[in-house]
Amino acid sequence: MENIKQNQGVEKSSSFLMNQADYQLVIDDFRHRVAAVCSHGPAKAVEKHRERGKLLARERIDLLVDSKTTFVELSSFAAYGQYDDAFPSAGIITGIGVVAGRECMIVANDATVKGGTYIRETIKKHVRAQEIAFKSKLPCIYLVDSGGIFLPEQANVFPDRFDFGRVFFNQARLSAEGIAQIAVVMGSCTAGGAYVPAMCDETIIVRNQGTIFIGGPPLVKAATGEEVTAEELGGGNVHTQISGVADHLADDDEHALAICRKLVAGLPKPMKQAIDLKDPVDPLYSAEDLYGYLSTDLKKPVNVKAVIEHLVDGSDFQEFKAGYGKTLITGFARIKGIPVGILGNQSFLTAESARKGAHFIQLCNQRQVPLLFLQSITGFIVGKKYEHEGIARDGAKLINAVANSTVPKITVVIGGSFGAGNYAMSGRAYDPDFLFMWPHARIAVMGGEQATGVLQNIGGSSENNSLIEQFERESTAYFSSSRLWDDGILDPADTRDILGLAFWVTLNQSVNQARYGIFRM
């Protein structure tokens, strides 16, 4: 706290100011990249889309959500740096928006990106959105405008367990759980894509724009010789008056979105977990001041207490076991009035800090307090002394506690995420409800230099530079987000607001008491 107080004064320390200036460059670069991935497809495709009288996918979302609410977009960087960057945001926009006062999961195809077709990352993003909706009981709204599978990629998207078929499997399961499934057909729904509206509880279709068919006109002609227009085959009139595949006919995009808002307004409101909520209180420090505590040099440990005090209500952090296992900071606070238990790395994990973390997670589960993991971790401490003391056993305790924890948990990678530290601090494999990265964060099994050292010692590759370069490239937040290893990259200054909404939706979950396996003592 002392450190922070010093930095709030007129005279901020020189290292604070240097970090702030350096981090501003990271943020400028981040914003530049966000603008690139959020700009839809090529200009020609955007023009054609508009000429048809259609709104762009992001404009549709803007009209759908309640005014003055924040749409929390997920994984905007999906497919970034892959496929010659021909699939910005993987051609699909997903995120949580408030519609008629209810938090909903919105999934919108971007038809200006290769006809809204699905590559591997498009499917991962769609399926991940449904997973989040399933866990936190969020009604799903699909703004459909898609040519189905991107055919050249069919081997990567069609047959496997979490491929295209999973989208419809999830719709059936979500509907069975009583989680509303609503489609707004605003363009093409071809082949497999036809099942998105067909599997929904209620479907709206836009006249002379939306089409639903298992085989489009060219396929029908090739198969049967029948010549038919898209509208005659599966347009709005056909499906609302003849086939009954859709339920509501809209005149245009605006009308369709207005109908959708009405349908959502009629849904029952979710029951929130009975939890001791308080009025939100702003932190004592400005969000942008966080930049002054971050360094792009991940070898320098992050002052995690300072980070916490910039994120939580009133900067009020009730530390737990402050004097023990000091490389892991644990304690209670509130974010936007919601009580949370926070675990943040101050350095590598030791046996003491692992035991402290396991104890704290049990405590939060016993009290039904959601967890926030702030990862900035190089891994567990190594060496003969520590192995003899049984560091693996104590690390396993923490991993056991994280894996069996049942309260909602959110992870933010605020620095490095390396080795088993990633697991113990609720990495992707530990099913956090959300996992976000900060733009300078890195994630890999280990650093490039360490990997080179390991390989050299076991007589492996001697091409140090290429391995270091490979690790460097593959560990960035952008590389991670492109492959959906996380739910998106956040500006540290926006993190508090997004965590507030994310924790709020997790309160829709009904939490069972945690049961742990055997803790090796």
d(CA 430, CA 409): 10
Rounded CA-CA distance 122/344 in Å is 32
209 touches ligand COA by CB under 6 A: no
Q: Provide the minimum distance between the beta carbon of 88 and ligand COA in the complex, in angstroms, as a whole number.
A: 13
Is 436 a residue that touches ligand COA (CB under 6 A)? no
118 contact partners, CB below 8 Å, separation of at least 6: 91, 92, 126, 146, 148, 149, 150, 157, 164
Reduced to 3 states, what is the DSSP secondary structure of residue 73? strand
Element (H, E) at 406: none
Judged by beta carbon, residue 108 or residue 138, the one nearer ligand COA is 108
> How many residues can be counted in the chain?
521
Regarding 191 and contact with ligand COA (CB under 6 A), the answer is: yes
DSSP letters for 232-267: HHH-HHIIIIIS-S-SEEESSHHHHHHHHHHHHHTS
Cα 164 to Cα 156: distance, rounded to the nearest angstrom: 10
Closest by CA to 234, choosing from 191, 293, 181, 292, is 191
Of the listed pieces 172-180, 183-191, 238-246, 388-396, which binds ligand COA according to CB under 6 A? 183-191
Least distance to ligand COA from the beta carbon of 52, Å?
8
Interacting residue with ligand COA among 91, 95, 147, 325 (CB under 6 A)? 147
* Residue 151 binds to ligand COA (criterion: CB under 6 A): yes
User: How many CB atoms are closer than 10 A to CB 104?
Assistant: 24
Q: Are strands 434-437 and 409-418 parallel, antiparallel or unpaired?
A: parallel
Count of residues that interact with ligand COA, criterion CB under 6 A? 14
Which range touches ligand COA (CB under 6 A), out of 185-193, 280-288, 332-340, 473-481?
185-193
Residues 29-48 that bind ligand COA (CB under 6 A): none
**Shortest spacing between CB 115 and ligand COA, in angstroms:** 3
Footprint of ligand COA on 106-145 (CB under 6 A): 111, 114-115, 117
* Binding pattern for the stretch 243-282 against ligand COA, x by CB under 6 A and - elsewhere: ----------------------------------------
**Residue of 75, 188, 411, 452 that binds ligand COA (CB under 6 A):** 188
Nearer to ligand COA, 117 or 353 (CB): 117
Residue in 17, 41, 489, 66 with CA at minimum distance from that of residue 291: 17
Distance in angstroms (rounded) separating the CA atoms of residues 169 and 126? 12
Q: Does 190 bind ligand COA (CB under 6 A)?
A: yes
Does the protein bind ligand COA through residue 500 (CB under 6 A)?
no
List the alpha helices (DSSP H) in 333-418.
Answer: 351-367, 384-389, 391-404
The CA distance from 142 to 441, in Å, is 32
Distance of CA 226 to the CA centre of its chain: 45
In angstroms, give the least distance from the CB of 79 to ligand COA. 15
Query: Does residue 192 interact with ligand COA by CB under 6 A?
Result: yes
Give the nearest distance from C-beta 62 to ligand COA in angstroms: 22
Nearest alpha carbon to residue 75 among 117, 105, 49: 105
> What gap in Å lies between CA 239 and CA 228, rounded to an integer?
15
Q: Between residues 185 and 371, which has the closer beta carbon with respect to ligand COA?
A: 185
Yes or no: say if 304 and 347 are a contact pair by the CB < 8 Å rule.
no
Measured distance CA(142)–CA(109) in Å, rounded: 8
For ligand COA, give the closer residue by CB, 117 or 378. Answer: 117
Please identify the residue of the shown chain whose CB is closest to the bound ligand COA.
147
Query: Quick one: 55 or 340, whose CB is closer to ligand COA?
Result: 55
91 binds ligand COA (CB under 6 A): no
Examine residue 216 and tell whether it contacts ligand COA (CB under 6 A): yes
Q: Which is nearer to ligand COA, 211 or 482 (CB)?
A: 211
Q: Which residues bind ligand COA (CB under 6 A)?
A: 111, 114-115, 117, 147-151, 188, 190-192, 216
